[in-house]
């Protein structure tokens, strides 16, 4: 199995359950690992033959910037669904960090895996 990844994609959004969180934009950070067979792309050197990580990133940026969820769990699940439904990916591992959410901690968040791991 080959993996295409996106590391530390920072996006501003409305996220949180407290009243003050509903009034400001906060940064969330996405890390993704996605299954993709890269052999054909390696042979042809054509973007059309691989998983276009820029297209994935742009789609997620657009979605997350416009979203307004209470829980990181909901946001992470929706992002994983987008990747699996809209791109040639059978499996995704997604880490969603919410920096500064807990005093004394660098970040909190979730790690989920969805789909069928080859």
pLDDT digits (tens, 9 = 90+) for 23-74: 999 999 999 999 999 999 999 999 999 999 999 999 999 999 999 999 999 9
**In this structure, what DSSP letter does residue 21 have?**
G
Residue 69, Cα to own-chain centre: how many angstroms?
A: 15
pLDDT for the residue 117: 80
pLDDT given at position 118 = 72
Domain count, the chain: 1
**Cα–Cα distances in Å, from 40 out to 67, 102, 111?**
35, 44, 30
Structural domain that includes position 28: 3-115
CATH number reported for the structural domain that contains residue 101 in this entry:
3.30.1130.10
**For this structure, is 98 an active site residue?**
yes
| Catalytically annotated residue among 54, 58, 93, 98 | 98
Contact (CB, 8 A) for 117 and 35: yes
Three-point CA angle 9, 91, 73, nearest 5°: 55
């Amino acid at each position: 199995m080959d993996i295409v990844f996106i590391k530390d994609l920072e996006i501003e959004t409305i996220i949180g359950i407290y009243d003050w969180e509903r009034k400001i934009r906060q940064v969330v950070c996405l890390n993704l690992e996605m299954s993709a067979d890269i052999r054909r792309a390696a042979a042809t050197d054509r973007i059309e033959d691989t998983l276009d990580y820029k297209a994935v990133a742009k789609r997620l940026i657009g979605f997350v910037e416009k979203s307004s969820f209470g829980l990181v769990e909901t946001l992470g699940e929706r992002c994983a669904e987008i990747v699996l439904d809209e791109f040639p990916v059978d499996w995704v591992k997604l880490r969603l960090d919410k920096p500064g959410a807990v005093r004394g901690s660098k970040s909190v968040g979730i790690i989920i895996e969805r789909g069928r791991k080859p």
